[in-house]
Structure formats: C-alpha cells, structure tokens
Amino acid sequence: MPLSHRRLERERRTIAAMIACFCQGVHGTSGDLCVECRALLDYATVRLERCPFQEAKPTCVKCPIHCYQPQIREQVKAVMRYAGPRMFWRHPILATRHFLDAYRKTPPHPPKATSPSEVREESQRMACPTPRPEK
C-alpha cells in the first residue's frame, strides 16, 4: 500500500532524512545507507503505511498507539537525538514542518476491531517482520 496522503509522504521523507543524517554521521557512510539503517527505514515506512490514523497521524512521540517494537523504538530515538538538531541545517523545511506537527492535536484512538476475525485481521495487517542487520 503506497503512502497516498501528502502528510504521510512528508513524514516518510523526514524519517528518511533523519536516518541518512545519522548513518552518515555515526556509521560513516556516504551516499547509500548501511544495511542496519536501510532495515530501519524499511520498517518505519511499513509502520507509516499501516498507521491507523493515516492523514490525522500525530508525531510518534505524541501518538497514543506505539506501533514500533521496543528495541526499534530505542533505535529511532537514538536517530532522532542525533539527527534532530542537525536537521534544521540540512533540511530546514522538513525540520520546521516536523516541529510544527508536534503541536497538532492528537486524534482519539481509532475504533478497535470487535469480532475475532476483525481482531485477527488487524493483527495480521499490523504484523511486520523485525529488521535484522546482516553480519
């Protein structure tokens, strides 16, 4: 499912820019992402595609649903801690829009599935393989 909403596409571009900044600064890559960062970007993209809020999505830190696995959430926090301050120099428009998105109202929880088949379908839809870096 492609990212059809402009807001989600901008969110994808922002996380991609942050991961690229982190990968270049911490892992010393130039150009392409390393395997670990590529896996993290792929995971984040899938999470955005499957976000139940879609266009009304708040920033992840304000979201009532934490869809990232705890280990990956810590990786993203490390990326954002490193790249956040640098984003205003490298990508000032994306950084400013992301900063302003933090002031968006958090939408209420999306309705939960009620029947067992809906619950099973929702859990399968949200399932995403854990990215594992190649050794």
pLDDT in tens, 18-53: 999 999 999 998 889 999 999 999 999 999 988 888
Rg of the chain, C-alpha, whole Å: 16
DSSP helix/strand/coil, 56: helix
Q: Which amino acid is at 95?
A: A
pTM beyond cutoff 0.85: no
Angle between helices 70-90 and 92-101 (to 10 degrees): 130
CB neighbours of residue 13 within 10 Å: 15
The structural domains of the chain, with segments of one domain joined by +, span 6-126
Alpha carbon separation from 65 to 23, 26, 93, 95, 108 (Å, rounded): 27, 29, 27, 23, 10
Q: Is 82 exposed, middle or buried (0-12, 13-18, 19+ CB in 10 A)?
A: middle
Number of residues assigned to the chain = 135
Q: How would residue 117 be classed by pLDDT, with cut points 50, 70 and 90?
A: low
- CA–CA gap between residue 116 and residue 114 (Å, rounded): 7
Q: What angle do CA 65, 5, 125 make, to 5 degrees?
A: 45
Give the model's pLDDT for residue 1. 44
- Structure letter (DSSP) for residue 5: S
